[in-house]
Amino acid sequence: MSDRLHDTPEEWPVTGTERPFQGRVTGVRTDVVTMPDGSRVRRDYQTHPGSVAVVALDERGCVLVLRQYRHPVRQKLWEIPAGLLDVPGEHPLQAAQRELYEEAHVKAADWRVLVDIYSTPGGSDEAIRIFLARDLAAAEGERFAAAEEEAEFEYARVPLDELVRGVLAGELHNSCLAVGVLALRAVLGGDGVEALRPADAPWPARPYEA
């Protein structure tokens, strides 16, 4: 039996639920939760379908990043390709491959699960699976027709260690980029890519049919 720390499922009783807002993709939910001491509290949080993100690593050790305007924080952030699990029945790996194609017109031959996270578990149920993609090549066919903020993407391929330094210096703030590049640096300095989970590894936070 492993002595490593691990998160465990647990659900405190919910005696009432309201949904004051539902947008096109996300919503707001209010639960009345019974605490262990018997008291009841209201918990407001964002409901979210989940997301996937991709650390795309090329043969030179560079990671594909893009810069996008993010209105809530009023900044243009450098990010890794990412997107919502908003296609019913879509496998997370297929969603990640789609996002890499649509956002960067790139395909990859080798896929692994890099890390699974909850983005902000105190205020949202969003779960994110971050994949590692290697053996990159240009995708076939025409580029995906981007719109709105995506039409203004800027692209770069940046050495992994430069991105790690940017995260630690407080210069790069996107959560998926930060978690992804730090996890990859740990992997490369530890047990290696071959020790990562396969691309179709179970994902209890967002179960799917293999």
pLDDT, averaged per 10 consecutive residues of the chain (210 residues), comes to 84 96 94 97 96 98 96 96 90 96 96 98 97 96 63 91 98 98 98 97 89
Predicted local distance difference test score (pLDDT) of residue 87: 85
Q: How buried is residue 172: exposed, middle or buried, by Cβ count under 10 Å (0-12/13-18/19+)?
A: buried
Q: Which of 18, 103, 150, 152 is catalytic?
A: 150
- What pLDDT shows up at residue 9? 94
Residue with tokens 């305007």: 69
pLDDT attached to residue 209: 75
Question: Among 85, 84, 67, 63, which residue's Cα sits nearest to residue 150?
Answer: 67
What integer pLDDT is reported at residue 1 of this predicted model?
45
pTM of the model: 0.93
Predicted local confidence at residue 146, as pLDDT: 60
Q: Is 72 helix (H, G, I), strand (E, B) or coil?
A: helix
Told to judge if 10 belongs to the known catalytic residues of this protein, a careful annotator would answer no
From residue 82, give the alpha-carbon distance in Å to each of 21, 58, 93, 98: 25, 17, 12, 9
